[in-house]
């Protein structure tokens, strides 16, 4: 079935800008992703245009029309603009001079050469589905490589040979997997074959660019398909080797499938548990999804064969957290994301055994405190980690986690669990015990925190009595030792800030 672009929802700003360029004697076309999305009935967040005007001429035409502009991409022929539409929404617009790039096979970046025609510009693009344009302001579709046909067939092809395309920019191989995830497109056999043959060229691409494509892939509508392509082509072995390594292992809990397939299923199930924009985990949530994919990467390292033929993976959660943090650092992720994902991997096994042994209130408090800001994600990861075909077992685990969440809710209402602190802060501890900032204050602070975890909130009188009783048993409480402690006092323990409320 032939597809046609639906231009009815095209923002009037597009036609307005096209008219400005036409009046000035220049060509302008909407190009790439925004055109592809018109076929798919999607609204593109950014608007990309191409033109025969030079960067200086682009500025002369549109600088006064736009609300603001930037020139960071001038060396590549790109000028950016911000423009509010009739609904007061801010549109991000990039206008780029026709390009005809020449690539150094050993370089990470193209050598830019400006082109002279729209057709030449389209020929250099990554895939046929992104090599379509709408001439403005007349809205004439330009599709020299059959992008609409490929989109209807659900296939990714390259305008030229895939070998040339991937040699020009190896990151396009990652983009192929990303489009499989985002758009549900399959790979033309020639594209898949070229990716397998040329996967090694991804090594010349910077970690930051690989990371950005990986994030988009994981946050796509079908991340499992994208990850599968990375693994099948050998790209994952180079950029995310912990994932294909899972195919070598057998999950002791789910012997009907290997750990790799289990991890992909957990990824899908975690994504399905994301919430809307007003919920606790708005989707797509990269942290939750990536933790789901990586949660068992410690198993290959910790696999042990036990007497009787059983297989164990003791402490694979801790090993996996370290491997995850190491990989994310190599991919140049920010510290906050690294900490959140690796924490989830570390804690994903904590819940198991709750249904059989039961937890004290103290254990529930520790679970919440250890999870901290990733608690809602941990709820979803733990629930997603059940892929057994044994419905009775699945129901038992689900009911047990329902019970745990209910207990957390009850305790949270009583104690504000998300901000557990000792009943006395560092300043009060020093005042009561006559101490200056130092390690002893940190120990006292930790004692009170443990008391708070074990017994719940204390009154001021109870906390003070407990602190005095603890202090009486400390060697520093003796007059001579206390004097020495004051002389040797250093900065306060990081866990016990003097002004902690």
Q: Is residue 388 part of a domain?
A: yes
As a whole number, the mean pLDDT across the chain is 88
Measured CA to CA, the distance from residue 94 to residue 118 in angstroms comes to 16
Please check whether residue 235 is in contact with residue 199, taking contact to mean a CB–CB distance below 8 angstroms: yes
Please check whether residue 129 is in contact with residue 33, taking contact to mean a CB–CB distance below 8 angstroms: no
**Is the pLDDT higher at 173 or at 449?**
173
Q: Structurally, how many domains does the chain consist of?
A: 4
pLDDT in tens, 115-149: 889 999 999 999 999 999 999 999 999 999 999 99
Q: Which of 398, 418, 438 delimits the end of a domain?
A: 418
For position 497, what pLDDT does the model report? Answer: 40
Question: Which residue range forms the structural domain that includes residue 481?
Answer: 426-488
Q: Are residues 448 and 393 in the same domain?
A: no
pLDDT in tens, 13-29: 999 999 999 999 999 99
Q: Are residues 131 and 177 in the same domain?
A: no
Q: Are residues 28 and 148 in the same domain?
A: yes
Cis peptide before 137 (omega within 30 of 0): yes
Measured CA to CA, the distance from residue 79 to residue 359 in angstroms comes to 60
Q: Are residues 223 and 366 in the same domain?
A: no
For position 418, what pLDDT does the model report? Answer: 53
Q: Which of 418, 435, 457 delimits the end of a domain?
A: 418
**Is the pLDDT higher at 174 or at 40?**
174
In 3D space, the residue among 2, 93, 92, 4 whose CA is nearest the CA of residue 40 turns out to be: 4
**Is the pLDDT higher at 342 or at 422?**
342
Please check whether residue 438 is in contact with residue 489, taking contact to mean a CB–CB distance below 8 angstroms: yes
Measured CA to CA, the distance from residue 116 to residue 233 in angstroms comes to 36
Q: Are residues 81 and 130 in the same domain?
A: yes
Q: Are residues 209 and 173 in the same domain?
A: yes
pLDDT in tens, 451-499: 887 887 888 888 889 988 998 888 887 765 555 545 444 444 444 343 3
Q: Which of 137, 153, 169 delimits the end of a domain?
A: 153
Q: Are residues 195 and 219 in the same domain?
A: yes
Q: Are residues 283 and 384 in the same domain?
A: yes
Q: Is residue 495 part of a domain?
A: no
DSSP-H helix ranges across 142-294: 147-153, 162-168, 171-183, 189-198, 207-218, 223-233, 235-239, 259-272, 286-294
Q: Are residues 275 and 382 in the same domain?
A: yes
Pairing mode of beta strands 155-156, 186-187: parallel
Q: Are residues 443 and 413 in the same domain?
A: no
Average of per-residue pLDDT across 354-359: 71
Q: Is residue 251 part of a domain?
A: no
CATH number of the domain within which 189 lies: 1.10.110.30
Q: Are residues 412 and 442 in the same domain?
A: no
CATH number of the domain within which 289 lies: 1.10.3210
Q: Are residues 270 and 413 in the same domain?
A: yes
Q: Is residue 142 part of a domain?
A: yes
Average of per-residue pLDDT across 265-277: 97
Average of per-residue pLDDT across 285-301: 96
Q: Which DSSP string do the residues of 389-410 spell out, in sequence order? A: S-HHHHHHHHHHHHHHHHHHHH
pLDDT in tens, 295-341: 999 998 888 887 877 778 889 999 999 999 999 999 999 999 999 99
């Amino acid at each position: 079935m032939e597809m046609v672009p639906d231009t009815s929802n095209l923002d009037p700003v597009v036609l307005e800008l096209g008219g400005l360029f036409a009046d000035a004697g220049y060509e302008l076309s909407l190009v790439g992703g925004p055109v592809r999305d018109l076929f798919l009935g999607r609204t593109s967040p950014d608007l990309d245009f191409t033109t025969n005007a030079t960067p200086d001429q682009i500025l002369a035409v549109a600088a006064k029309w736009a609300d603001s502009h930037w020139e960071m991409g001038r060396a590549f022929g790109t000028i950016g603009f911000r423009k509010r539409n009739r609904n007061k929404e801010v549109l991000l617009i990039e206008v780029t001079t026709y390009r005809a790039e020449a690539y150094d096979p050993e370089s990470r970046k193209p050598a830019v050469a400006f082109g002279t025609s729209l057709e030449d510009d389209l020929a250099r693009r990554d895939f046929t589905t992104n090599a379509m344009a709408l001439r403005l302001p007349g809205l004439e579709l330009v599709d020299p490589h059959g992008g609409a046909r490929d989109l209807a067939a659900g296939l990714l092809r390259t305008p030229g040979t895939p070998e040339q395309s991937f040699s020009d920019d190896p990151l396009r191989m990652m983009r192929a997997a990303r489009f499989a995830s985002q758009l549900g497109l399959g790979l033309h056999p020639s594209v898949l074959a070229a990716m397998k043959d040329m996967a090694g060229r991804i090594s010349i691409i910077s970690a930051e660019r690989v990371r950005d494509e990986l994030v988009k892939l994981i946050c796509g509508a079908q991340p499992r398909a994208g990850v599968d392509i990375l693994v099948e082509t050998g790209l994952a072995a180079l950029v995310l080797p912990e994932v294909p390594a899972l195919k070598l292992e057998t999950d002791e809990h789910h012997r009907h499938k290997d750990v790799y397939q289990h991890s992909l299923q957990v990824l899908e199930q975690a994504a399905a548990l994301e919430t809307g924009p007003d919920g606790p985990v708005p989707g797509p949530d990269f942290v939750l999804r990536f933790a789901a994919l990586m949660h068992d990467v410690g198993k290959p390292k910790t696999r042990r064969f036990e007497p009787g033929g059983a297989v164990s993976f003791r402490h694979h959660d801790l090993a996996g957290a370290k491997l995850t943090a190491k990989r994310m650092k190599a991919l140049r992720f920010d510290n906050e994301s690294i900490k959140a994902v690796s924490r989830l991997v570390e804690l994903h096994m904590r819940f198991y055994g709750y249904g059989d042994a039961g937890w004290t209130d103290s254990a529930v408090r520790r679970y919440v405190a250890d999870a901290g800001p990733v608690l809602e994600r941990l709820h979803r990861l733990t629930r997603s980690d059940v892929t057994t075909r044994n419905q009775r077992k699945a129901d038992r685990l689900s009911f047990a986690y329902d019970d745990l969440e209910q207990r957390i809710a009850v305790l949270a209402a009583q104690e504000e669990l998300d901000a557990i602190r000792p009943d006395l802060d560092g300043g009060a501890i020093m005042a009561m015990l006559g101490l200056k900032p130092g390690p002893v204050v940190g120990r006292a602070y930790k004692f009170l925190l443990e008391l708070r975890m074990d017994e719940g909130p204390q009154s001021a009188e109870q906390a003070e009595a407990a602190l005095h009783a603890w202090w009486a048993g400390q060697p520093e409480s003796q007059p001579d030792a206390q004097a020495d402690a004051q002389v040797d006092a250093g900065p306060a323990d990081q866990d016990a800030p003097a002004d902690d409320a």
